[in-house]
Amino acid sequence: MESVDDLMRWLMVNPLEETDFLELQSATAPAQGEQWPETGQPQGQRDLSVSSEDVTEFIQSEKNTIKNTDRDVRNVERWLWETQPELREIQEIPQAELDEYLSKIWISVRKQDGTEYEPSSLTQIKYSIERYLKEKTAGEISLRSKEFTKSNQALAAKLIDLKQKGKGGKPNKAQALTPAEEQIFWDKKN
């Protein structure tokens, strides 16, 4: 086999229960440009008929993504208006300042009822801001760049703090019964 992809294709055509492991070791993929006999797909080529624009259009067409991004950006801008002397739109704020603001947001942000967000919600807010900035700045600003190290560290620390407080994961998962509780259950059942 020349690559993992070759092996995977071969395994899809030849299930292991019908194949001897020695045959698996000696199997060879077609040379570059030759076709796989079973699929007719040329070796080394993938279906790349989906363009980057198609992917972007698909993502933007997702109503929930658009709605969540708009809501999250409005909330960040509202936080800036209420807590900082900041009236610029977030894409107009210099990256160093935005990094500082985001650091403060990740540490202090709360839901409207005053409770803390779930870790996955904070991460989703970050992705919303990232999407918005990429759209508004033609990809020039990325929250993953070194210019946003402080805010990324603040978010990481906040996520750890929330998880230590029991947020995230599966907060509503069932707890195992203690032996005493199990005995009560069986006593009531009989």
Is the pLDDT reported for residue 185 higher than 60? yes
How many Å apart are CA 139 and CA 84, to the nearest integer?
26
Q: List, as own/partner pairs, every contact residues 137-144 make where C-beta atoms lie below 8 angstroms and the sequence separation is at least 24, other chains included.
A: 137/91, 141/91, 141/95, 141/98, 143/102
**Whether 99 contacts 150, CB under 8 Å:** yes
Q: What pLDDT, in 10s, does the model give residues 88-109? A: 999 999 999 999 999 999 999 9
Q: What pLDDT, in 10s, does the model give residues 148-165? A: 999 999 999 999 999 888
Across 110-138, average pLDDT? 92
Q: Does the pTM exceed 0.85?
A: no
Q: What is the pLDDT of residue 34?
A: 62
Give the residue, 190 or 44, on which the prediction is more confident.
Answer: 190
Domain ranges of the chain: 1-48, 52-164
